[in-house]
Structure 1
Amino acid sequence: MLRTSDAVQEGMAAVMGALKAGVTAGEVHAAWLAVLNRYGLEKASRIGYSIGAAYAPDWGEHTLSFRANEPTIVPENAVVHVILGMWMDDWGMELSETLHVRSGDCRRLCDFPQHVHIVER
């Protein structure tokens, strides 16, 4: 579990390092996959999406999804939710951030400590 936690935290740093206006959503996803590959982990689903106030057809807006080979260009001033969840047979974890995409980087919109909080039952 701790090893996966390390991968998720490193993966978030990689995603945030790759996320800026003008890159494709697939390039951002590839940064995540590179970390997972180093740890011998897999996750086939998307890792994030655009959010906003448009509410059509729903709150997810269906305009930008961070998944493998996604060609959509990430626009400047987009607001996205990156959710790095890893779900195993008997446990799971996730680390998520809401990010503002800028011309050369992205900015966190929340000041909550960026690490996985381990809760034992």
Structure 2
Amino acid sequence: MMQAVEVLLCFNRNYMTTYNFNTDEIFQSPNKSVRFTSSQIEAVQTCIPPETRAFILIPNHQYKTFEELVYHSILKNPEMFGRNCVKGVESYMRFHGLNELPDYSIKFKQCFY
């Protein structure tokens, strides 16, 4: 078994806002139908429950401390670390239908692979 680093993307306190546009209303007058456009916008904000997405980084060597393990796991392959972080955030946004970058934090956990 090898030591590895589990990278956790923790999404907290995110909201999804949906807009309903009420633009086409018909009013009846005694002689004819009158149609006009109004700019009424109804917004509904929905709270997204906290969620965690994870991926694993496997270092080339064994390290004595957890800090060294994290440091060298990221340093040896920064492109993979960045790419996996972006993939996790993009899949979260796609799954929940978000248009804006969500709030998230990154945590590290020791695991064995």
TM interval, shorter chain, is: under 0.3
Choose 1 or 2 for highest CA Rg: 2
TM-score after normalising by structure 2: 0.26
In proportion to residue count, which structure has more strand? 2
Choose between structure 1 and 2 for higher RCO, CA contacts under 8 A separated by at least 6 residues.
Answer: 2
TM-score, normalised relative to structure 1:
0.24
